[in-house]
C-alpha cells in the first residue's frame, strides 16, 4: 500500500434475496464499475457483463470475491453541509494558508500519555486533567491519561528553563506547542510554557487547553464561532467546551469517516456517500483494517 493508514473504504451495494427456507438469505455485493476498473485494473469478462446491475444510473459489477477484508465495518456518519464546512476549515490546516487539495487531516491513533515536569504545580495539573477528562469521556476512540514517568509518555508539558523535552521549541520566545506525525498519524506532542506570560493561573490554564486542543489534530481555530468556543480564533476568559467543540472532536475521531485522508479524498468520499444515501437509502461502509491486512 502507498500509505500506512490502517483502513480502507469500500463502497458496496448489497443485494439480498430470500432462499428457499425462511431463515436463510443470499447476499451479493456489488461495486460501481468505475471503482471496479480502478481497483482491479482489468477488462470486464462476459461473465461480468452477465452480472451487471444498474441502480439509479449507477452501473454495478458483481464481485467475484464476496469476502470482506478482516476489520471493523462501520457505516458512514452523515453530517449536514454547515457542519462539514466548519470541519473542513478546522481539520485541514493548509501550509502557509495556501489552499491545497493535498492537505491532510492529522489524528492520534494511540492513547495520549502526558508527562508534566516537576515545575508544573499539582493544582495546575489537577485542573488541567479535569478538563481533559471531559474530552476523554466524550470522544470514544481517544484516550488521555497522565504518565508518572517520562519513558511512559508521548506528550510532555513543561516550563521554559526546565529540561527541554522538545528541542524544536527551545528558541521560542513565547509559549507554544509542537506535534510530530508519520503518515498523518500523530505520535508525539509537547507544550512549552513561558512563565512571565502566565503568572495568573487562569491564563496558564487557557494556554495549556488552547495548545492541547490544537494538538489533537493540528487543528486551526476559526472566526465562525463565538469566543466561548475553544475552536474560536479569539480570546475569552470564559472559554468552555461547547457542544460544537465536542461534536468536532467526536467526528474527527469517529470511525464513520476515513481518517488521515487528504482534502480531495475527503470531499469525494462524502459526495459519493451522500449520493448513495439519497438514491438508495443505504449507507456506505468504512472498513478499518487489522494490522496484517495492510501489508498488501
Domain spans, the chain: 8-76+259-294, 81-252
Buried b (16+ CB within 10 A) or exposed e, 82-115: eebebbebbbbbeeeeeeeeebbbbbbbeebbbb
In 76-143 the beta strands, taken as DSSP E runs, fall at: 107-108, 112-116
Q: What is the pLDDT of residues 138-168, one digit of tens each?
A: 998 899 999 999 999 999 999 999 999 999 9
Q: What is the pLDDT of residues 233-280, one digit of tens each?
A: 998 888 999 999 999 999 999 877 777 888 998 888 888 888 878 887
How many Å apart are CA 12 and CA 55, to the nearest integer?
13
Q: What percent of the chain has pLDDT over 90?
A: 49
Altogether, the residues listed in the chain come to a count of 296
How many Å apart are CA 199 and CA 207, to the nearest integer?
12
Domain 81-252 has CATH 3.40.50.300: no
Closest residue by Cα to residue 14 from 290, 276, 293: 276
pLDDT for 24 beyond 90: no
pLDDT confidence band for 110 (50 / 70 / 90) = very high
Beta-strand relationship, 8-10 and 112-116: unpaired
Q: What percent of the chain has pLDDT over 70?
A: 79
Please report how many Cα atoms fall inside a 13 Å half-sphere around the Cα of residue 11, on the Cβ side.
Answer: 24
pLDDT for 107 beyond 60: yes
For residues 136 and 128, the answer to whether their CB atoms sit within 8 Å is no
pLDDT for 203 beyond 80: yes
Burial-class residue 136 by CB neighbours within 10 Å (0-12, 13-18, 19+): middle
Amino acid at each position: 500500500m502507498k500509505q500506512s493508514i490502517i483502513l480502507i473504504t469500500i463502497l458496496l451495494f448489497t443485494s439480498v434475496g430470500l432462499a428457499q427456507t425462511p431463515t436463510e438469505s443470499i447476499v451479493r455485493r456489488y461495486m460501481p464499475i468505475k471503482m471496479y476498473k480502478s481497483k482491479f485494473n482489468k477488462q470486464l469478462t462476459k461473465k461480468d457483463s452477465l452480472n451487471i446491475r444498474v441502480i439509479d444510473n449507477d452501473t454495478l459489477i458483481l464481485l467475484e470475491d464476496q469476502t470482506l477484508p478482516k476489520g471493523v465495518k462501520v457505516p458512514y456518519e452523515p453530517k449536514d453541509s454547515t457542519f462539514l464546512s466548519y470541519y473542513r476549515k478546522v481539520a485541514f490546516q493548509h501550509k502557509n494558508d495556501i489552499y491545497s487539495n493535498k492537505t491532510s487531516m492529522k489524528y492520534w491513533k494511540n492513547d495520549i500519555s502526558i508527562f508534566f515536569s516537576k515545575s508544573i504545580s499539582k493544582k495546575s495539573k489537577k485542573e488541567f486533567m479535569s478538563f481533559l477528562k471531559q474530552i476523554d469521556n466524550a470522544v470514544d476512540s481517544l484516550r488521555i491519561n497522565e504518565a508518572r514517568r517520562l519513558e511512559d509518555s508521548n506528550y510532555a508539558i513543561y516550563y521554559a528553563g526546565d529540561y527541554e523535552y522538545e528541542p524544536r521549541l527551545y528558541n521560542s520566545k513565547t509559549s507554544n506547542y509542537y506535534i510530530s506525525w508519520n503518515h498523518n498519524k500523530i505520535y508525539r506532542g509537547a507544550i512549552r510554557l513561558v512563565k512571565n506570560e502566565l503568572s495568573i493561573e487562569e491564563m496558564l490554564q487557557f494556554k495549556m487547553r488552547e495548545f492541547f486542543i490544537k494538538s489533537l489534530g493540528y487543528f486551526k481555530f476559526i472566526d465562525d464561532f463565538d469566543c466561548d468556543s475553544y475552536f474560536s480564533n479569539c480570546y475569552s476568559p470564559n472559554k468552555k467546551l461547547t457542544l460544537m467543540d465536542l461534536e468536532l472532536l467526536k467526528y474527527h475521531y469517529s470511525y464513520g469517516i476515513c481518517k488521515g485522508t487528504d482534502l480531495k479524498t475527503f470531499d469525494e468520499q462524502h459526495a459519493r456517500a451522500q449520493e448513495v444515501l439519497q438514491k438508495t437509502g443505504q449507507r456506505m461502509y468504512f472498513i478499518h483494517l487489522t494490522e496484517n491486512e495492510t501489508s498488501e
